[in-house]
Amino acid sequence: MKYSDLFIDFDDTLYDTHDNAVIALGELYEYLHLEQHFDDPNVFYDDYWETNIRLWKQYSQGEIERRYLIIERFRHPLSLGKGIDPTPEYCIEVSNKFLSLCAVKPGLVDGAKELMDYLRGKGYRMHLCSNGFHEVQYKKLHACGLYDYFDTIILSEDAGANKPSPIFFSYAFEKSGASKETTLMIGDNFNTDILGAKQAGLDTIYFNRFPDYPAPEAVTHEVHHLRDILNIL
């Protein structure tokens, strides 16, 4: 077997972060009674997603701090509502509620459980590699039933840097005891997962869930469904 260790991304690779968050955001809208402030709920939803995607990209690149992300991703969409004063303190309260709603959602990407059972049966050592927030990721892992599959949990907040930073991957090797010659990275985000792993000297499987264009040359393998990985490993 060429590989003995697998670095595996969590959000939107195994855990259906987006769809779970869509559900949680709807619950948050009702909890906060935002219908009293928005004539059209899509004004809030659309701005949240646009803002959140932009901020997570900045956070992954080390351009902003966690606190700024947490506050701003709610401050901006809430500021579009009538009669809302989205102070930093209020935005943090909103974020805490949202994360508590997200953390208990069990939804997985199609084929995730089947893949993890297969990989465990093949004897791979599996290491979760995530930029997600520490306290939330552990709750999500338990909620979706995948916690016990991993030999090591490697989070950016523990590493002191986000993927794709070399600091993150150096920490991942140190904590897991894996060797880059026998380790492969699986992830859905080309910039953070695939380029970061490539720069660290790893082979990769790019889970291109929504392919608008072919994968660049940096990819060792490209799949469009998790079950396709069973034909590679």
Instruction: Flag the least confident range among 4-18, 150-164, 165-179, 206-220.
Output: 206-220
DSSP assigned state of 11:
B
Residue 16 to residue 11: CA distance in whole angstroms = 7
Region 165-178: mean pLDDT is 97
Radius of gyration for the alpha carbons in the chain, expressed in angstroms and rounded: 18
pLDDT at residue 61 in the model: 85
DSSP assigned state of 111:
T
Region 5-11: mean pLDDT is 98
Query: 1 falls in which pLDDT band (50, 70, 90)?
Result: low
3 state DSSP class of 165: coil
Q: What percent of the chain has pLDDT over 90?
A: 90
Q: What rounded mean pLDDT belongs to the chain?
A: 94
Report pLDDT digits (tens) over 28-73.
999 999 999 999 999 999 999 999 999 998 998 889 999 999 999 9
pLDDT at residue 218 in the model: 72
pLDDT at residue 224 in the model: 94
Region 151-164: mean pLDDT is 95
DSSP assigned state of 217:
T
Domains and CATH numbers, the chain: 5-16+108-231 (3.40.50.1000), 17-103 (1.10.150.240)
To the nearest 10 degrees (0 to 180), the angle between helices 88-103 and 17-31 is 130
Measure Cα distances from 192 to 123, 131, 174, 205 in Å.
26, 9, 19, 13
Report pLDDT digits (tens) over 112-133.
999 999 999 999 999 999 998 8
pLDDT at residue 28 in the model: 97
